[in-house]
């Protein structure tokens, strides 16, 4: 082996010019490939691990009530969090996603902004470098601090210490005005980020009227963003809701009442045999209030139009919650349905339920003994409406449009991934990878032809030498190894040269500072090109180039090895 290495190496040096030319070609290919890979990886990293992390997260769980998609609210944050933690693996972080959209007024100028609630960690501080002001002590003081981009500050005509006002909808749908103080002006990262104005999470949560145990939406940051869709599917299964109910007491009656919500647009016809309305009852699916059994009406001495009072234990407040609901109809219940069951219209039920979540969950089967296939079950709404998973932006947008139109009081829960919320960004990454792949293919093709030609020439030139070493006693396989080794050495050396050159080139390229208007800005970090050369991609390139050149070297080398020594010796050049 040492001998083979020695001969190959010396031969490589012997044909200096040809090998240098070929080496330059290979090195050039490696440079292109390494830079393209690093750039593409940089984009991916930038997009998936920064931009998407700061915007939509890799996965996002949100809940919408009354079609107010701009003000999502998760009422039982703890439950959702617990479910996420027990079903989704490889989570790097879960963040509460809080933001308000509205008009911000600066010094005589106003502009629409997205006010995002942020927790100021080191990652944030390094991504959004402070240009003026500083992150230190920035949330000390009386007023709500805001962090604002250089561009936005110019637009609103504000400086550090100035006040800005903003009007936005709070979680209850009421208009709210708040005053903020500009504490930090950050460098503009890219077009996306320029719309955002940041304020401490705590402050915004309070301003928007979320309670402590509530949140707007949950962003999940994954270790491996590409598993988002599959993990979202898992979570979707785990977040399947139960039927909603309120198990309550009422005065002067020993039994507990079970309040269950109708689904929106319910029709009683389906359950005709179980719940029968007297012929003269005016009731349709939009009628608010409760439908109670005639038995219960008799017991409580209540009639249509009266209010039925009840109280129940709450999940997040101490003490019993007292509530009442108007009776809209009195019906005859079949034996299979307990007379203590109270069917409440979707709106009336969730107007109470959403704000004061009940603590107790009971078996509905204790009250409703109908078979599980019975349509009466389909008439009862769940704790929330779990929206179907979507796979792309269009379906996702349509889902939300439907939600806005529907305006259900019952909460709707959605589990989205970056593939729906940030598909444009992901598409961009895909395009870059494709371009890299194509460039690589062309380069490898050129390398293949180069290696093939060079080696064929070499074999022809060295035919007599091959004859000599074969006569002396070198085996066929060793002759082949010499030629393969030569290509191997050439490839490795060129790869090394290419790698070094590409590292230098990347370093130089990152020194260029691009202008703000550059549309590619969002692919950059700090308006500079961003390269992430990974060890893996560097070695993968080596392996690919190596495999290609070895595969091409194989045939001329085999030909050299199979020459008959006597013929090779006769060869004249």
Partner 1 sequence: MSIVLLKDVRKDYPLGKTTVHALQGVELDISTGSFISIVGPSGSGKTTLLNIIGCVDQATTGSITIDDQDVSRMTDNQLTDLRLFKIGFIFQSFNLIPVLNVLENVEFPLLLMKKYTSKEIRKKAEEMIEHVRITEQISQRPSELSGGQRQRVAIARALVTSPRIVLADEPTANLDSETGAQILSLMKRINEQNNVTFIFSTHDPDVLKYANDVIKIRDGKVIERIKCQ
User: What residues line the site for partner 1 (CB under 8 A)?
Assistant: 2-3, 6-7, 10-11, 13-14, 464-465, 467-476, 478, 564-566, 569
Give the nearest distance from C-beta 498 to partner 1 in angstroms.
26
Is 96 or 486 the residue whose CB approaches partner 1 more closely?
A: 486
What is the Cα–Cα distance from 350 to 355, expressed in whole angstroms? 8
Is 108 or 473 the residue whose CB approaches partner 1 more closely?
A: 473
What is the Cα–Cα distance from 148 to 116, expressed in whole angstroms? 11
Give the nearest distance from C-beta 476 to partner 1 in angstroms.
6
Is 369 or 566 the residue whose CB approaches partner 1 more closely?
A: 566
Give the nearest distance from C-beta 471 to partner 1 in angstroms.
5
Give the nearest distance from C-beta 23 to partner 1 in angstroms.
18
Give the nearest distance from C-beta 465 to partner 1 in angstroms.
6
Give the nearest distance from C-beta 463 to partner 1 in angstroms.
12
Give the nearest distance from C-beta 10 to partner 1 in angstroms.
3
Could you tell me the sign of the dihedral formed by the alpha carbons of 442, 448, 451, 455, in that order? negative
What is the Cα–Cα distance from 286 to 270, expressed in whole angstroms? 16
Cα–Cα distance list, 333 to 264, 278, 324, 339, 344 (Å): 21, 11, 21, 7, 15
Is 319 or 473 the residue whose CB approaches partner 1 more closely?
A: 473
Is 4 or 63 the residue whose CB approaches partner 1 more closely?
A: 4
The candidate with the shortest Cα–Cα distance to 6, out of 546, 485, 496, is: 485
Is 11 or 250 the residue whose CB approaches partner 1 more closely?
A: 11
Residue with tokens 């001495």: 301
Give the nearest distance from C-beta 560 to partner 1 in angstroms.
14
Is 76 or 465 the residue whose CB approaches partner 1 more closely?
A: 465
What is the Cα–Cα distance from 274 to 336, expressed in whole angstroms? 7
Residue with tokens 């044909």: 15
Cα–Cα distance list, 262 to 65, 287, 344, 364, 449 (Å): 16, 11, 6, 14, 73
Q: Which residues contact 367 (CB under 8 A, 6 or more apart)?
A: 258, 337, 338, 340, 341
What is the Cα–Cα distance from 40 to 18, expressed in whole angstroms? 33
Is 116 or 561 the residue whose CB approaches partner 1 more closely?
A: 561
DSSP-based three-state secondary structure for 416 = strand
What is the Cα–Cα distance from 173 to 540, expressed in whole angstroms? 54
DSSP H or E stretch at residue 164 = strand 163-169
Give the nearest distance from C-beta 227 to partner 1 in angstroms.
53
Is 4 or 185 the residue whose CB approaches partner 1 more closely?
A: 4
DSSP H or E stretch at residue 202 = helix 201-207
């Amino acid at each position: 082996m040492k001998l083979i290495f020695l001969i190959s190496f010396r031969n490589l040096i012997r044909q200096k010019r040809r090998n240098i030319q070929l080496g330059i070609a290979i090195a050039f290919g490696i440079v292109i490939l390494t830079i393209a890979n690093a750039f593409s990886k940089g984009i991916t990293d930038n997009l998936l691990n920064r931009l998407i992390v700061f915007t939509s997260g890799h996965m996002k769980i949100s809940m919408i009530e009354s079609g107010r998609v701009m003000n999502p609210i998760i009422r039982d944050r703890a439950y959702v969090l617990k479910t996420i933690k027990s079903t989704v693996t490889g989570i790097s972080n879960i963040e509460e996603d809080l933001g308000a959209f509205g008009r911000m007024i600066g010094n005589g100028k106003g502009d629409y902004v997205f006010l995002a609630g942020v927790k100021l960690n080191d990652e944030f501080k390094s991504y959004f470098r402070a240009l003026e002001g500083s992150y230190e002590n920035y949330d000390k003081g009386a007023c709500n601090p805001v962090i604002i981009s250089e561009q936005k500050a110019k637009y609103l005509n504000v400086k550090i210490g100035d006040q800005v006002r903003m009007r936005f909808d709070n979680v209850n749908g009421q208009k709210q005005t708040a005053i903020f103080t500009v504490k930090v002006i950050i460098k503009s990262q890219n077009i996306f980020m320029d719309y955002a104005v940041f304020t401490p999470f705590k402050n915004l949560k309070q301003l928007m009227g979320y309670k402590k145990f509530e949140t707007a939406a949950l962003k999940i940051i994954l270790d491996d963003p590409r598993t988002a869709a599959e993990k979202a599917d898992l979570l979707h299964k785990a977040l399947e809701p139960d039927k909603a109910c309120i198990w309550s007491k009422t005065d002067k009656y020993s039994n507990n009442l079970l309040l269950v919500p109708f689904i929106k647009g319910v029709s009683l016809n389906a359950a005709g045999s179980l719940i029968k309305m007297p012929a003269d009852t005016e009731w349709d699916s939009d009628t608010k209030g409760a439908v109670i059994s005639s038995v219960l009406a008799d017991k409580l001495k209540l009639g249509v139009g009266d209010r039925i009072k009840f109280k129940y234990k709450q999940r997040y407040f101490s003490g019993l919650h007292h509530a009442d609901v108007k009776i809209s109809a009195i019906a005859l219940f079949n034996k299979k349905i307990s007379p203590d069951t109270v069917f409440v219209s979707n709106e009336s039920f969730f107007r109470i339920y959403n704000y004061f979540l009940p603590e107790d969950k009971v078996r509905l089967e204790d009250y409703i003994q109908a078979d599980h296939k019975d349509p009466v079950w389909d008439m009862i709404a769940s704790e929330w409406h779990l929206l179907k998973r979507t796979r792309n932006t269009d379906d996702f947008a349509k889902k939300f449009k439907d939600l806005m139109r529907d305006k259900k009081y019952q909460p709707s829960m959605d589990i989205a991934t970056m593939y729906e919320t940030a598909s444009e960004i992901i598409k961009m990454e895909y395009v870059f990878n494709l371009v890299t792949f194509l460039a690589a293919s062309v380069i490898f093709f050129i390398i293949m032809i180069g290696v093939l030609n060079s080696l064929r020439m070499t074999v022809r030139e060295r035919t007599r030498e091959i004859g000599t070493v074969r006569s002396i006693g070198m085996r066929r396989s060793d002759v082949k190894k010499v030629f393969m080794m030569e290509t191997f050495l050439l490839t490795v050396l060129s790869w090394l040269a290419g790698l070094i050159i590409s590292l230098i080139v990347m370093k130089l390229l990152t020194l260029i500072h691009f202008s703000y208007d550059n549309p590619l800005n969002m692919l950059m970090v700090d308006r500079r090109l961003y390269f992430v050369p990974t060890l893996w991609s560097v070695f993968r390139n080596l392996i690919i180039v190596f495999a290609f050149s070895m595969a091409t070297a194989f045939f001329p080398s085999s030909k050299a090895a199979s020459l008959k020594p006597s013929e090779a010796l006769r060869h004249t050049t």
